[in-house]
Structure 1
Amino acid sequence: MPTALAVTSDGHMLPPPDRQTPRAHVFRPPGDQPLELALAETQRLVNQHGHLVVVYPATLDKPFVHRLHTIRSVLESDRIALLPTRLPPLGTAVLVRQLRQLSLCDFSPGVLAAAARLLAHYVYAGALLNSVAKLDHVSVPLTAHAKSWMSRSQFAVLAAPGTQLVRLDANGAAGGGGSEASLAGPQFPTHLTVARGALNSEWVNGTLAAQWNVRGVQEAQLPGESARWWGTGKLIEFAAAIPDVSVLYQLVSSVRRDECHWCGLELIGDRCAFCAAPASYGPAPASRRAPGPQVATRQDATARPAAAGRGGSGLGGYRRASAGPPAAPHTRHAVVADPRGL
């Protein structure tokens, strides 16, 4: 049974890319669900799947965050991982969809949970806004605040993995410059997910998709919290990410795995996603070393390939096929990879 995944909003549940990809459980706010019912549902998930990974936005309301920690404490379970993310709402939904795809592979619960931090570096999330006057999550220059009050102003904003803001004119060109605006995009093939609010524009589907050389565009429903996160309801939110589960598998497999010295689970990165204990760097366990990653396909999701250890190709081969930069060598320590590091 694959590791269970959970979210805190229906907006973080995108349609699955295939029939095999499982859904994620949706936790309800404290005011919409009694604690006893939330405890019973969580216990059922843990009993059925063994481990539960909860991905929630770092901006989640405090009472909701307290509810999640209360559930974990009352159940006294070290098999529940609570993972906050700073991605925008649609970016969070895309990340969760990737984890849902990977849950069918042979990754242990600790590796799958830790992969959330790794994959977040490869999600390019932003929005097209009519105003940045109330945007708090991205640094906005004072001049941009002033220009938000001008009629027909639009702003292309990138919130992850880095931040960038470009003012557009009515034709989608950089305001005042007469040149086509450009946001820093991914250097590897992606699919673009687009969620429309109350803003009418084809800049995302047309100009941005062409600039980022995406391989496909998918429309999605705008998450309910997007208007609050971006400070306006007149927006079009977008997120570009790797759609292929085989590439995601290679990427996660290419990172060194260690064993948590506290709870004993496998981990990648600098700390355990379940108990938050820091990684103890040392020689990679011999059982974790493998010649290279094997990939679980959608056609045979239940056939678990052999576990892969350090030494996988990551995005190296994927980028070389796309005329991207060469892969960087692995470091000695377990790290969360930079988007340009593989």
Structure 2
Amino acid sequence: MALPPQDERTVPAIVLKDLDKEPLERSLLGMRALVEQYGHVIVVCSRALPTAVERRLHTVRSLLESDRIALFRPDLPPLGLAVLARQLRQLASCDLSPGVLASAGRLLTHYIHAGAVLGSVTKLDRVPVDLKAHAKSWVPGSQFGVIAHPEPQLVRIGPEAALKGPEFGTAMLVAKGPQFQSDWIATTLAPSWNVQGLRETRLPAESPPWWGTPKLVEFCSFLPDLSVLYQLVTSVRQSSCHWCGIDVIGDRCVFCSATSPLIDNQPQPQTRTQPRKQYPQNQLTAG
């Protein structure tokens, strides 16, 4: 889902529709046109996509023989994925190289807290659900607060219910399903997380199957400020990919999938991008 721009600098999103249904030739022509127009393409897609879509993306990349197409599939629920894609669209307006921008997605996922309030967890398979929660799910009126990322959490909503949240200031986006009503996020969760702004958006079409029920309100807390995102990304050491030569952050090139020779030669990596518990308070101007 392509979210509305966060600010006037957020670049537009290009949605690749019906990849598993359209002729292969059309997919090839469309991707080739994007590469020729923009130079590099970062495809952000869900791990819950049908196998046919994933296969088509890899086929297109292979047939075009291009190392300028990055396929990024973070383990996030639909609304969290949409937020991450918008953050990358924000950063695309800055002076970041394509490799650093593509690598930034892995870093920024650490700062996204994504979950939902569900009316049932009987079909939830994204987060561990014990037998007690399954039994309570059959009680009329039961609601459950669930965190899918960064660490799975599940509580039955009641007077003492609480979910562990981020240790830094965030904004929150909420998407309500048409078959379910709950004000727990606005009245309880957001204040307990010290959310600095709450907005609503439409529910992604992929959300009901991802969460296993249409009775849900999905939420995601994130860093909204471009200056903070830019500072986080540029504070990480950059290096050149030894295979394709593009600048990256972290231990793996998102474009060619090559890992650092240091990583290949050691069973346990010694240099990896680690999430910070709190982002810096001073802000830089994104250039």
Q: Return the TM-score normalized by structure 2.
A: 0.91
Conservation of the 8 A alpha-carbon contact between 1:257 and 1:334: no
Conservation of the 8 A alpha-carbon contact between 1:255 and 1:334: no
1:204-223 residue pairs with structure 2 within 5 A? 204-223=185-204
Q: Look up the match of 1:66.
A: 55
In 1, the alpha carbon distance for the partners of 2:260 and 2:198 equals 38
Deviations 1:137-192 (A, max 9, x none): 111111101110011110000011111001013xxx2xxxxx2x211111111110
In 1, the alpha carbon distance for the partners of 2:261 and 2:120 equals 46
Range 254-263 or range 332-341, more displaced: 332-341
Deviation of 1:32 after TM superposition, in Å, equals 3.9
1:36 equivalenced with 2:25 (yes/no): yes
Three-state SS of the structure 1 residue aligned to 2:45 is strand
Deviations 1:203-245 (A, max 9, x none): 1122111011111111111000100000000000000000000
Q: 1:38 corresponds to which letter in structure 2? A: S
Conservation of the 8 A alpha-carbon contact between 1:268 and 1:334: no
In 1, the alpha carbon distance for the partners of 2:21 and 2:197 equals 37
Q: 1:190 corresponds to which letter in structure 2? A: T
**RMSD (Å), alpha carbons:** 1.6
Q: Look up the match of 1:300.
A: none
In 1, the alpha carbon distance for the partners of 2:4 and 2:40 equals 23
In 1, the alpha carbon distance for the partners of 2:16 and 2:260 equals 30
Q: Look up the match of 1:269.
A: 250
1:211-250 residue pairs with structure 2 within 5 A? 211-250=192-231
Q: Look up the match of 1:193.
A: 173
Three-state SS of the structure 1 residue aligned to 2:195 is coil
For residue 107 of structure 1, the aligned residue among 96, 106, 126 is 96
1:338 equivalenced with 2:278 (yes/no): no
Three-state SS of the structure 2 residue aligned to 1:131 is coil
In 2, the alpha carbon distance for the partners of 1:78 and 1:53 equals 11
In 2, the alpha carbon distance for the partners of 1:73 and 1:28 equals 19
1:154 equivalenced with 2:143 (yes/no): yes
Deviation of 1:102 after TM superposition, in Å, equals 0.3
Deviation of 1:23 after TM superposition, in Å, equals 1.4
1:300-311 residue pairs with structure 2 within 5 A? none
Q: Look up the match of 1:46.
A: 35
1:120 equivalenced with 2:100 (yes/no): no
Deviation of 1:62 after TM superposition, in Å, equals 0.4
Three-state SS of the structure 2 residue aligned to 1:100 is helix
In 2, the alpha carbon distance for the partners of 1:123 and 1:235 equals 19
Deviations 1:5-58 (A, max 9, x none): xxxxxxx20000122211121112335422222211111111111100001111
Q: 2:210 corresponds to which letter in structure 1? A: W
Q: Return the TM-score normalized by structure 1.
A: 0.77
In 2, the alpha carbon distance for the partners of 1:204 and 1:252 equals 30
Three-state SS of the structure 1 residue aligned to 2:73 is strand
When you count helix as a share of all residues, which structure comes out higher?
2
Where structure 2 has 5 or more consecutive residues not aligned to the other structure, the ranges are 264-268, 280-287
In 2, the alpha carbon distance for the partners of 1:334 and 1:21 equals 31
Three-state SS of the structure 2 residue aligned to 1:121 is helix
Q: 1:135 corresponds to which letter in structure 2? A: L
Three-state SS of the structure 2 residue aligned to 1:85 is coil
Deviations 1:93-144 (A, max 9, x none): 0000100000111111111111111101110000000111100011111110
| Count of aligned pairs between the two proteins | 273
Conservation of the 8 A alpha-carbon contact between 1:128 and 1:237: yes
1:79-94 residue pairs with structure 2 within 5 A? 79-94=68-83
In 1, the alpha carbon distance for the partners of 2:124 and 2:19 equals 27
Q: Look up the match of 2:283.
A: none
Q: Look up the match of 2:126.
A: 137
Three-state SS of the structure 2 residue aligned to 1:140 is coil
Q: 1:161 corresponds to which letter in structure 2? A: P
Q: 2:273 corresponds to which letter in structure 1? A: V
Conservation of the 8 A alpha-carbon contact between 1:14 and 1:94: yes
Conservation of the 8 A alpha-carbon contact between 1:131 and 1:232: yes
Deviation of 1:88 after TM superposition, in Å, equals 0.2
Deviation of 1:333 after TM superposition, in Å, equals 5.4
Three-state SS of the structure 2 residue aligned to 1:156 is strand
Deviation of 1:334 after TM superposition, in Å, equals 4.2
Conservation of the 8 A alpha-carbon contact between 1:102 and 1:249: yes
- C-alpha change, 1:105 and 1:280, in structure 2 (3 Å) is farther
In 2, the alpha carbon distance for the partners of 1:143 and 1:341 equals 35
